[in-house]
C-alpha cells in the first residue's frame, strides 16, 4: 500500500465529518464566530439607484431630443440626418428599457427570497419564480401567483417594459405636415392709371426689355409738327388693345382669365417664394360703374318712365339702352380728327361721361287670364326692370390668395367721385315722351386738354375703358312676335348677359354689369404690356406645408409614466426589503449552491442530476421553504463545535427549517475586522 502523507490539520484545515467515507467542508472558525455581523453590501443598493436614474435620464433625454425635432423640418432635408434622428431616439428608448429592467430585476431578487422564507412552495413554483424574469410561465401557475403576488406583479411589469419603452415610446415621434408661416416684403402687380397721364403717342414708353407700353386710349393732336406753342393731344377713342381686351373679358370670365395668367410656377415664385401659399392685400384707384335702381331716384322718374314704356309688354323691346347723352364726339373736327380752322375753347374737352340707362323685360312664363286686356299683345306676363350706371373713380382693395398653383382674388370697392363730375339740366318738351338735354355743367368741371394734360389723359384712359364697355352692351333687342325669335341690334348676345337658350336677358343684370366691369378693370393686372400695369412693395403673409417630425409629448409620457411610477414603487419596496432583511440577496450559482446544502435535499434529489427537462414530477411537487435548519442538518454541515456558534440557512422541508432572525449568527455573513487585521490579511 503506498505511503500516504500526513495532513496537517489546523484552524484553517478541512474537518472531516462523523460519517465514514464522506468528506465535508465546514466554514472555518474565523469566518463563523469572529466578529460576525449583519451588513448591507453596497453593490445592490447602488445598482438599484443608478439603474433607475439611468432609466429616468434616458427617458428625459429621449423627450428633449424629440422636442428638439418637433416641427423642425431641417432634419428632414437630409436622408442621413433623418435616419440618425430615429436611431438616436430608439437608442435612448433601449437604454431606458435596460436600466428600468435592471432595477426591477434587482428588486425582484430581493422579494423572491422574502417569499421563500415566508411560504412553503413546490419545487416547480420555486423554479417558476426563479425564472420569472425569463419565462412567462409563472403567470400560468396559480400557486406562484397566489403565494407571491407582489413578485408576480414585478415580473409582469418587467415583461411590459420593452413594450412601453422600445415599441410604444418612439411612436410619439412621427412624420407630419406643418404650416410654416412668415411675413416678407415682396413686389406684387398693381394698377396705376396715373401712368397714362404722361403718355405721348409720338414718343412711346418702353419697358426695360424694349417692349412698347400700350395705352387704353388713342389720341389726335392739334399740331402734327408741334410747332405751335399751344398744341395739345386730344382723345380719339379706345385703343385697339383696349377693344380687344374688353372683347375677350366680355366673352369669357375675367376672373378666370386673370387666374390663368397669374397661375403657375413663375407667379408663385415671384410674390410668395417657392412652395409657399400666401395672402396679401393691395389697393389702387381706377374706374368703376355704380349701378342704381332708377325707380328709387326721384330725379330720374321721368327718364325711368320713358325707358319702361319701351319695354315689353307695353313696348316692343326686351332690352333697351340709352347712352347718348354726353357722349364724346369722334372725330371732333377737321379731316381725320385734326382741326383745320380756328378751334373752340372746349375743343377735345370731356364735358360728361354718359350715364348708362338700361331697361329689360323678363318673361315669367306665367300666362295671362283669357279675358285679360293684355292678351292682345302678349300671352305671358313680363317683369320690367330699369336702372342707371354712372362712371366713378373707384378705390379697389384686393385680397390675394395664392394656393398651390392657383390664385384667388377677393375684391371690394368704394366709389369716390364721378369720372367727369357734371350733370345735365333736363326739360320736357311737353308731351312727356322725349327729353332734350342741354349742355352739361358746370363748365369748370370740364376736363380740357389745354389746361391740365396729365389729368386729361388719365380721364381719357377711364373714358376709353368705359366706352369700350358701352360698345359691347349698347343697342336694343326687339320682340316682334311670340312665335318668332327676337330681333337683335346689340352685341349683348355675345356676352354672358344674354341667355341664347331662353332668348332673353339674364336676371339681376344691374349687379352683374357692375361686377363684370370691376372684374375687367382688375384683369388688367394680367396685362404687363399696358401702361396702367405697375408693381409695388407689399407685405405678404406666407404659409407653406412642410414635412417634419411631429412629437406628441402626451403619448410619450403616457407610455413612460406607468413604468416610471411602478419602477419607483418597486425601488422603494426593494429598499425597504433590504433594510428589513439586513442584507442583500442574489440568484447566482454560488448562492443556489450554498442555500441547497441540506441532507434532506440530497436525499430527495438523489437520481436527478442532469438538469434536463422534464424533471421528475415527484421532485417538482415537493414543497420547500427557505430558513434556518434545525440542529441535525446544521451540525451535519457546520460541524459539532462550530454549529454551536453559527447557524446554517438552506432550503428544506417546512418541518426542518425555522424563520431566519435578523441579528442571529449565520454562516456566510461578513466578518467585522479592524484596520490592523485587514492590513495583516493583505500582507498574508
The Cα–Cα gap between 313 and 303 comes to 18
pLDDT tens-digit series, residues 140-152: 888 888 888 888 8
For residue 560 the three cell numbers come to 413612460
How many CB atoms within 10 Å of residue 163? 13
pLDDT at 513: 95
- Under a CB-based contact definition with an 8 Å cutoff, are residues 186 and 271 in contact? yes
pLDDT at 503: 84
Closest of 288, 248, 270 to residue 522, by C-alpha: 288
Q: Quick check: is 337 in a domain?
A: no
pLDDT at 333: 66
Cα(first)–Cα(last) distance of the chain, in Å?
A: 38
pLDDT at residue 319 tops 80: yes
Range 403-427 average pLDDT? 84
Residue 636's pLDDT band (cuts 50, 70, 90): low
Question: Do 498 and 602 fall into the same domain?
Answer: no
pLDDT above 70: percentage of residues in the chain? 77
Question: Do 518 and 405 fall into the same domain?
Answer: yes
pLDDT at residue 273 tops 50: yes
pLDDT at residue 429 tops 70: no
The Cα–Cα gap between 1 and 464 comes to 142
- Under a CB-based contact definition with an 8 Å cutoff, are residues 584 and 110 in contact? yes
Q: Which residues contact 589 (CB under 8 A, 6 or more apart)?
A: none
**How far are the Cα atoms of 104, 278, 486, 511, 624 from residue 108, in angstroms, in the given order?**
6, 60, 100, 84, 19
Range 190-218 average pLDDT? 87
Q: Quick check: is 250 in a domain?
A: yes
Q: What is the Cβ-side half-sphere exposure of residue 204, based on CA atoms within 13 angstroms?
A: 14
Q: Which residue has the higher pLDDT, 36 or 518?
A: 518
Question: Do 158 and 170 fall into the same domain?
Answer: yes
Range 19-48 average pLDDT? 57
The Cα–Cα gap between 47 and 60 comes to 20
pLDDT above 90: percentage of residues in the chain? 22
Question: Do 425 and 573 fall into the same domain?
Answer: no
User: Where a domain ends, among 507, 531, 555?
Assistant: 531
**How far are the Cα atoms of 279, 402, 579 from residue 541, in angstroms, in the given order?**
5, 10, 66
The Cα–Cα gap between 339 and 606 comes to 139
Range 435-444 average pLDDT? 74
For residue 281 the three cell numbers come to 392685400
**How far are the Cα atoms of 193, 201, 212, 533 from residue 209, in angstroms, in the given order?**
21, 19, 9, 15
Q: Quick check: is 327 in a domain?
A: no
- What is the domain count for the chain? 3
pLDDT at 629: 79
pLDDT tens-digit series, residues 547-590: 778 888 888 898 888 889 998 988 888 888 778 776 767 676 77
pLDDT tens-digit series, residues 103-122: 888 888 888 878 877 777 77
The DSSP code for 42 is: S
Q: Which residue has the higher pLDDT, 133 or 354?
A: 354
Question: Do 306 and 420 fall into the same domain?
Answer: yes
pLDDT at 17: 38
Question: Do 182 and 114 fall into the same domain?
Answer: yes
| Helix pair 149-162, 553-581: axis angle to 10 deg | 140
Q: Which domain holds residue 632?
A: 10-37+588-684
Mean pLDDT in the chain? 78
pLDDT at 136: 83
Angle (CA) 331 332 335, round 5°: 65
Sign of CA dihedral 548, 552, 553, 556: negative
The Cα–Cα gap between 25 and 652 comes to 19
Q: Which residues contact 58 (CB under 8 A, 6 or more apart)?
A: 92, 93, 95, 96, 99
Phi-psi group of 640: left, alpha or beta (phi > 0 → left; psi -120 to 50 → alpha; rest → beta): alpha
pLDDT at 515: 95
Q: Which residue has the higher pLDDT, 197 or 658?
A: 197
Q: What is the Cβ-side half-sphere exposure of residue 491, based on CA atoms within 13 angstroms?
A: 11
Question: Do 17 and 79 fall into the same domain?
Answer: no
Q: Quick check: is 181 in a domain?
A: yes
Phi-psi group of 465: left, alpha or beta (phi > 0 → left; psi -120 to 50 → alpha; rest → beta): alpha
Question: Exposure string (b/e) for 224-236, b if CB count within 10 Å is 16 or more?
Answer: eeeeeeeebbbbb
pLDDT tens-digit series, residues 221-261: 877 666 666 778 899 999 999 999 999 999 888 888 787 77
The DSSP code for 212 is: B
Q: Quick check: is 627 in a domain?
A: yes
Question: Do 401 and 520 fall into the same domain?
Answer: yes
Q: Which residue has the higher pLDDT, 404 or 568?
A: 568
Q: What is the 3-state secondary structure (H, E, C) of 115-140?
A: HHHHCCEEHHHHHHHHCCCCCHHHHH
The Cα–Cα gap between 18 and 513 comes to 125
pLDDT tens-digit series, residues 448-501: 998 888 999 999 999 999 999 999 999 999 987 655 688 899 999 989 999 888
Question: Do 81 and 100 fall into the same domain?
Answer: yes
Least confident among 322-331, 506-515, 538-547: 538-547
pLDDT tens-digit series, residues 57-106: 989 988 998 888 887 776 666 677 777 878 888 889 889 889 888 888 88
The Cα–Cα gap between 106 and 154 comes to 10
Question: Do 42 and 14 fall into the same domain?
Answer: no
Beta bridge partners of 184: 540
pLDDT at 482: 57
Q: Quick check: is 218 in a domain?
A: no
| Helix pair 240-251, 509-522: axis angle to 10 deg | 130
Q: Quick check: is 166 in a domain?
A: yes
Element (H, E) at 307: helix 301-309
Q: Quick check: is 575 in a domain?
A: yes
Residue 18's pLDDT band (cuts 50, 70, 90): very low
pLDDT at 192: 95
Question: Do 172 and 80 fall into the same domain?
Answer: yes
Question: Do 162 and 310 fall into the same domain?
Answer: no
Q: What share of the chain is helix, strand, coil (3-state, %, to 5)?
A: 40, 25, 35
Residue 4's pLDDT band (cuts 50, 70, 90): very low
Amino acid at each position: 500500500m503506498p505511503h500516504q502523507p500526513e495532513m496537517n490539520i489546523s484552524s484553517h484545515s478541512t474537518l472531516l465529518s462523523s460519517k465514514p467515507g464522506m468528506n465535508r467542508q465546514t466554514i472555518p472558525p474565523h469566518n463563523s464566530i469572529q466578529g460576525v455581523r449583519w451588513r448591507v453590501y453596497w453593490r445592490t443598493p447602488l445598482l438599484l439607484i443608478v439603474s433607475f436614474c439611468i432609466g429616468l435620464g434616458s427617458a428625459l433625454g429621449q423627450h428633449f431630443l424629440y422636442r428638439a425635432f418637433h416641427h423642425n423640418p431641417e432634419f428632414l432635408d437630409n436622408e442621413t440626418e433623418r435616419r440618425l434622428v430615429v436611431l438616436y431616439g430608439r437608442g435612448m428608448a433601449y437604454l431606458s428599457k435596460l436600466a428600468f429592467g435592471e432595477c426591477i430585476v434587482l428588486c425582484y431578487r430581493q422579494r423572491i427570497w422574502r417569499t421563500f422564507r415566508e411560504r412553503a412552495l413546490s419545487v416547480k413554483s420555486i423554479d417558476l419564480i426563479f425564472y420569472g424574469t425569463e419565462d412567462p410561465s409563472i403567470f400560468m401557475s396559480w400557486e406562484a401567483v397566489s403565494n407571491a403576488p407582489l413578485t408576480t406583479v414585478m415580473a409582469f411589469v418587467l415583461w411590459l417594459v420593452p413594450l412601453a419603452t422600445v415599441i410604444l415610446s418612439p411612436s410619439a415621434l412621427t412624420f407630419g405636415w406643418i404650416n410654416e408661416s412668415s411675413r416678407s416684403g415682396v413686389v406684387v402687380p398693381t394698377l396705376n392709371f396715373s401712368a397714362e397721364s404722361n403718355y405721348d403717342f409720338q414718343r412711346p414708353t418702353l419697358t426695360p426689355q424694349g417692349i412698347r407700353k400700350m395705352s387704353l386710349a388713342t389720341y389726335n393732336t392739334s399740331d402734327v409738327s408741334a410747332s405751335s406753342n399751344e398744341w395739345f393731344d386730344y382723345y380719339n377713342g379706345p385703343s385697339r388693345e383696349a377693344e380687344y381686351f374688353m372683347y375677350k373679358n366680355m366673352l369669357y370670365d375675367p376672373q378666370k382669365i386673370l387666374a390663368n395668367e397669374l397661375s403657375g410656377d413663375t407667379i408663385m415664385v415671384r410674390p410668395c417664394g417657392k412652395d409657399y401659399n400666401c395672402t396679401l392685400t393691395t389697393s389702387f384707384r381706377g374706374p368703376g360703374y355704380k349701378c342704381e335702381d332708377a325707380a328709387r331716384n326721384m330725379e330720374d322718374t321721368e327718364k325711368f318712365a320713358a325707358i319702361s314704356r319701351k319695354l315689353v309688354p307695353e313696348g316692343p323691346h326686351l332690352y333697351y339702352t340709352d347712352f347718348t347723352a354726353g357722349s364724346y364726339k369722334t372725330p371732333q373736327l377737321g379731316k381725320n380728327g385734326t382741326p383745320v380752322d380756328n378751334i373752340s375753347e372746349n375743343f377735345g374737352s370731356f364735358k360728361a361721361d354718359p350715364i348708362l340707362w338700361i331697361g329689360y323685360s323678363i318673361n315669367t312664363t306665367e300666362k295671362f287670364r283669357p279675358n285679360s286686356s293684355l292678351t292682345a299683345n302678349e300671352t305671358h306676363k313680363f317683369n320690367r326692370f330699369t336702372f342707371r350706371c354712372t362712371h366713378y373713380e373707384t378705390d379697389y382693395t384686393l385680397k390675394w390668395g395664392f394656393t398651390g398653383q392657383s390664385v384667388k382674388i377677393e375684391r371690394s370697392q368704394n366709389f369716390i367721385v364721378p369720372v367727369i363730375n357734371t350733370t345735365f339740366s333736363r326739360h320736357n318738351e311737353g308731351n312727356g315722351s322725349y327729353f332734350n338735354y342741354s349742355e352739361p355743367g358746370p363748365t369748370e368741371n370740364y376736363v380740357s386738354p389745354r389746361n391740365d394734360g396729365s389729368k386729361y389723359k388719365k380721364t381719357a384712359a377711364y373714358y376709353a375703358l368705359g366706352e369700350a364697355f358701352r360698345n359691347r352692351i349698347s343697342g336694343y333687342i326687339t320682340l316682334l312676335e311670340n312665335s318668332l325669335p327676337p330681333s337683335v341690334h346689340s352685341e349683348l348676345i355675345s356676352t354672358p348677359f344674354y341667355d341664347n337658350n331662353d332668348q332673353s336677358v339674364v336676371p339681376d343684370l344691374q349687379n352683374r354689369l357692375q361686377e363684370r366691369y370691376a372684374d375687367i378693370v382688375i384683369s388688367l393686372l394680367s396685362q404687363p404690356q399696358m401702361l396702367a400695369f405697375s408693381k409695388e412693395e407689399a407685405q405678404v403673409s406666407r404659409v407653406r406645408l412642410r414635412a417634419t417630425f411631429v412629437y406628441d409629448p402626451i403619448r410619450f409620457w403616457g407610455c413612460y409614466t406607468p413604468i416610471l411610477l411602478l419602477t419607483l414603487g418597486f425601488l422603494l419596496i426593494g429598499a425597504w426589503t433590504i433594510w428589513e432583511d439586513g442584507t442583500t440577496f442574489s440568484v447566482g450559482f454560488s448562492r443556489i449552491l450554498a442555500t441547497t446544502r441540506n441532507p434532506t435535499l440530497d436525499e430527495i434529489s438523489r437520481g436527478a442530476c442532469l438538469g434536463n427537462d422534464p424533471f421528475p414530477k415527484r421532485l417538482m411537487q415537493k414543497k420547500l421553504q427557505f430558513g434556518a435548519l434545525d440542529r441535525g442538518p446544521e451540525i451535519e454541515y457546520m460541524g459539532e463545535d462550530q454549529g454551536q456558534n453559527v447557524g446554517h440557512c438552506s432550503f428544506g422541508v417546512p418541518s426542518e427549517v425555522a424563520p431566519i432572525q435578523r441579528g442571529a449568527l449565520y454562516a456566510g455573513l461578513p466578518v467585522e475586522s479592524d484596520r490592523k487585521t485587514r492590513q495583516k490579511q493583505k500582507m498574508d
